[in-house]
Amino acid sequence: MAQRLDGKALAQEIQLALAQQVKTLTAKTGRPPGLAVIMVGDDPASATYVRNKHRACDRIGIASYGKHLPASTPQTELLNYIQQLNQDDRVDGILLQLPLPQDLDAVTLLNSIAPDKDVDGLHPINMGRLLRGEPGLRSCTPAGVMHLLQTYDVPIAGRHAVVLGRSILVGKPMALMLLAANATVTIAHSSTRDLVAVTRQADILVTAVGRPHLITAGMVNPGTTVIDVGINRVEHPNGKGKLVGDVDFAAVEPLVQAITPVPGGIGPMTVAMLLQNTVLSYCKRFHIDG
Ligand SMILES: Nc1nc2c(c(=O)[nH]1)N[C@@H](CN(C=O)c1ccc(C(=O)N[C@@H](CCC(=O)O)C(=O)O)cc1)CN2
């Protein structure tokens, strides 16, 4: 049976350590780190994630700012609000919760966040730094995957990592982070031919597609570490919703080296990395070693 990589437990450990660090830092500087989360519209899943982010901030002593705005909010109003937050000295991190309502231009809005407050790591400057192997704020989900792999001593250097999905939020930065850790990286996507042949070669398989049961027993090998980034809500026969990843967990778990569950895997690590990025950004602004 595979080793379960417990993201929930690791995220709790990280938050505990951050709480201690934030306490010391706040006593030193006289103000806590600040995070502004902007949510636009009423997507119920996003509302849950944003609420969880505020709660996590409260738990570890980060001050929460930000707003919940109606879906009808004009682009210019949002741009002005982001500018205000860019200039607000209490705010070290700004995050625009995705997805946005269709009428808004997410790229322009994300690009208007000051790069040194971009705790989501999605600004072209931070993406460029990742591409060039320079220090900078890293996207939270792939950073969480790397942290989990490193904590569980999963070998990366020289191994074949297959990343399924090519989004800006996960797939592309994930591939770059694995490459920076000296993996041989393949990015597979909807046009990849013979996907099974590709995934079967993976020492590390990261799937971030958003399709339940995409990864089946025939797509892995006994040495594979499977990282499931998918978060899909499916109907359970009892009528209640259930959260599943991209992997057919019951079928794949007995066949592989290690695997992350959903829930309890990469989701909680994403929030832990967001808090860590906020503290990093704060330390940088105060010229303190983080
Ligand atoms: N601006 C961003 N938007 C979005 C991001 C992001 O990183 N930046 N990621 C996702 C949503 N997300 C964080 O925002 C997120 C998703 C899931 C979880 C999580 O902890 N999931 C739990 C289950 C929670 C539940 O029951 O619903 C788990 O997997 O165990 C945290 C954060 C899209 N948008």
**Tens digit of pLDDT for each residue in 91-120?**
999 999 999 999 999 999 999 999 999 999
pLDDT of residue 26: 98
Provide the residue count of the chain: 290
Confidence of residue 84 (pLDDT cuts 50, 70, 90): very high
Confidence of residue 31 (pLDDT cuts 50, 70, 90): very high
pLDDT of residue 174: 98
Q: Is the pLDDT of residue 209 over 90?
A: yes
198 lines ligand 1 (CB under 6 A): no
Known active-site residue 120: yes
Beta-carbon contacts of residue 44 (< 8 Å; ≥ 6 apart) = none
Average pLDDT over residues 25-40: 98
Read out DSSP for the chain?
Answer: -PEE--HHHHHHHHHHHHHHHHHHHHHHHSS--EEEEEEES--HHHHHHHHHHHHHHHHHTPEEEEEEE-TT--HHHHHHHHHHHHH-TT-SEEEE-SSPPTTS-HHHHHHTS-GGGBTT--SHHHHHHHHHT------HHHHHHHHHHHHTT---TT-EEEEE---TTTHHHHHHHHHHTT-EEEEE-TT-SSHHHHHTT-SEEEE-S--TT-B-GGG--TTPEEEE---EEEE-TTSSEEEE-SB-HHHHGGGSSEE--SSSSHHHHHHHHHHHHHHHHHHHHTT---
**Do the domains 30-114 and 140-267 sit in the same CATH topology, yes or no?**
yes
Q: Is the pLDDT of residue 1 over 90?
A: no
Known active-site residue 53: yes
Cβ proximity of 275 and 19 under 8 Å: no
Q: What is the model's pTM?
A: 0.97
208 lines ligand 1 (CB under 6 A): no
Instruction: State both tokens at 228.
Output: 């499931």
The CATH fold of domain 140-267: Rossmann fold (3.40.50)
CA max distance for the chain: 57
pLDDT of residue 231: 95
Known active-site residue 97: yes
Q: Is the pLDDT of residue 238 over 90?
A: no
95 lines ligand 1 (CB under 6 A): yes
CATH superfamily of 30-114: Leucine Dehydrogenase, chain A, domain 1 (3.40.50.10860)
- Express each pLDDT in 115-174 by its tens digit: 999 999 999 999 999 999 999 999 999 999 999 999 999 999 999 999 999 999 999 999
What is the Cα Rg of the chain in Å?
19
Q: Is the pLDDT of residue 290 over 80?
A: no
Residue among 219, 174, 172, 214 at smallest CA distance from 199? 219
User: Residues within the annotated binding site for NADP(+)?
Assistant: 165-167, 231
Cβ proximity of 214 and 207 under 8 Å: yes
263 lines ligand 1 (CB under 6 A): yes
Cβ proximity of 287 and 29 under 8 Å: no
Whether the bond into 263 is cis, omega within 30 of 0: yes
- Express each pLDDT in 276-285 by its tens digit: 999 999 999 9
pLDDT of residue 259: 98
Instruction: State both tokens at 153.
Output: 């001593």
Q: Which of 113, 117, 270 to mutate to test the pocket of ligand 1 (most atoms within 8 A of CB)?
A: 270
User: Ligand 1 mean position to 191 CA, how many Å?
Assistant: 26
Atom of ligand 1 lying closest to residue 274 CA: 7
49 lines ligand 1 (CB under 6 A): yes
Confidence of residue 241 (pLDDT cuts 50, 70, 90): confident
Residues forming a β-bridge with 233: 243
Of residues 92, 118, 120, 246, which has the active-site annotation?
Answer: 120
- How many whole angstroms separate alpha carbon 172 and alpha carbon 156? 17
Query: Residue 181 class from Cβ within 10 Å (0-12 exposed, 13-18 middle, 19+ buried)?
Result: middle
Of residues 15, 92, 97, 172, which has the active-site annotation?
Answer: 97
Atom of ligand 1 lying closest to residue 140 CA: 7
The mean pLDDT value of the chain amounts to: 97
Q: How many Cβ atoms are within 10 Å of 120's Cβ, its own excluded?
A: 26
Domain extents for the chain?
30-114, 140-267
Cα angle 170, 173, 174; round to 5: 70
Residue among 14, 120, 107 at smallest CA distance from 66? 120
267 lines ligand 1 (CB under 6 A): yes
